[in-house]
Chains A and B, each alone.
Chain A
């Protein structure tokens, strides 16, 4: 009988972009059990609602995450707008959708690079991030920031993008699509990549449902679940279709994210064609009051936002709650780690696209 050993994995590890610790119980080369622990980068951002005015809180909430920051800002302002019954102009909704989908493109390209780095394909990693750089340039041109945009505000957006720039973005996206296609062919078809991903970290549809998996992780196991289908933003007008795979392994998760890059580029180009000319923000008057909760589809999956005001309207919120997608996907990650080879642990962790900063806030 082989001897059991516990191997500590993280919080500092070459494949981990962010700190999570796992105690891997190993028997020979097989993982028998994985015990996760988080709590290395808790920043207490939700507690700050007590000190920051609700209009300033948006900039704090945006900094929950450095990759899907715009989505968090949008989720926060949507919760506030819902509670205060604020109607956002149509152009602001379209601009928010464009920035959010661009964030998804940059997030998935970043993840593809990290995945390539994780399975030891350094040049593929470099080329993926080269393509991502073009998306960051679009962000800097339109918002002034490369990663954190600070353009979302209660009542609309702070900056407009003129129609000529939008057309230029559409043309740049054609180029990005072409360059991405050359790289994603490698992820989908290359033998060495498939050897590392196919059949690894299988998660059945039943397990994915039982473990409340969200986002690309759930969609790779055949669950048709995407908050964009529920009419958030202007996705209804843009004819959104979710990207689904049924294999449930690491390759399927990679394929779903690759398909989502193209789907997001299509959505942005359709949004650019349809964007109406109108105001970009409405004035917001008065103190915060009310209560509202909503869900949003972040690049990593479903996120939940809840805002509640005091009984008497004040500048401050009583509670702001954010539940992030990685939080929901950690049980599924632990499940996929059970019984896998030690060498496949990095792939299993990376394919949930862990964002521990979001999880801990």
Chain B
């Protein structure tokens, strides 16, 4: 390397803005799309378990009995699969990274139990099928995260296990005949 080239690099290094950040004195600026960590809005969660099923690394555990949503932060790869598949859109990708740790961090979120509203909102209603229009295609059963629906095409039967149904509304969205309704 010629003397002039070295001189140019040295002068540049002396007077240009540093390429590195004086972290942690200068905080990191996050981009709008930065995939930092998964956040949950607990009141909106219906514990349907879709995120748990779709997570490629099995980082999420949904316990309907204990009313908890648990994420293993070190397992999560921030792919955003859960946020895309959440029927209630209560999962979001936050910009900040989780703090470094020497232990496997597990975050547990308590999901508040839904009280039956006097007016009876959609989440408090019951899934109903207008069997006059139903073609027994089985798409609702295939998309049900809780496997609460059973469809038999030959016998033309449609059964719902009400204990399993979380009223996520996925079946109503996917139904080609729009004969499913939560009311």
A contact residues vs B (CB 8 Å cutoff): 52-53, 56-57, 59-60, 63, 123, 127, 130, 133, 140-145, 148, 150, 158-159, 182, 185-186, 190
Contact B31 A140 (CB under 8 A): yes
Look across to chain A and name the residue whose beta carbon is closest to the beta carbon of B32. Answer: A141
**B5 in contact (CB, < 8 A):** yes
Contacts A60-B56, A133-B19, A190-B1 given; indicate if A148 touches B77 (C-beta within 8 A).
yes
Min distance, Cβ A241 to any Cβ of chain B, angstroms: 30
Cα distance, A281 to B62, chains bound together (Å): 30
**B138 in contact (CB, < 8 A):** no
B contact residues vs A (CB 8 Å cutoff): 1, 5, 9, 19, 31-35, 54-56, 77-81, 84, 93
Chain A residues near B84 (CB-CB < 8 A): 158
Cα distance, A17 to B80, chains bound together (Å): 29
Look across to chain B and name the residue whose beta carbon is closest to the beta carbon of A61. Answer: B56
Chain B residues near A143 (CB-CB < 8 A): 33
Cα distance, A218 to B56, chains bound together (Å): 36
Query: Can you show 11 pairs from A to B with CB atoms below 8 A apart?
Result: A52-B56, A53-B54, A56-B54, A133-B19, A140-B31, A140-B34, A144-B34, A158-B84, A159-B33, A186-B1, A190-B1
Contact B56 A56 (CB under 8 A): yes
Cα distance, A209 to B77, chains bound together (Å): 40
Partner of B33, one of A130, A133, A140, A186: A140
Cα distance, A52 to B79, chains bound together (Å): 14
Interface centre among A60, A143, A150 (most CB of B within 10 A): A150
User: Can you list the 4 inter-chain pairs with the closest CB atoms, starting with the nearest?
Assistant: A144-B33, A144-B35, A59-B79, A56-B56
Contact A150 B79 (CB under 8 A): yes
Min distance, Cβ A133 to any Cβ of chain B, angstroms: 7
Chain A residues near B34 (CB-CB < 8 A): 140, 144
Min distance, Cβ B76 to any Cβ of chain A, angstroms: 11
Chain A residues near B81 (CB-CB < 8 A): 56, 59
Min distance, Cβ A85 to any Cβ of chain B, angstroms: 21
Chain B residues near A63 (CB-CB < 8 A): 77
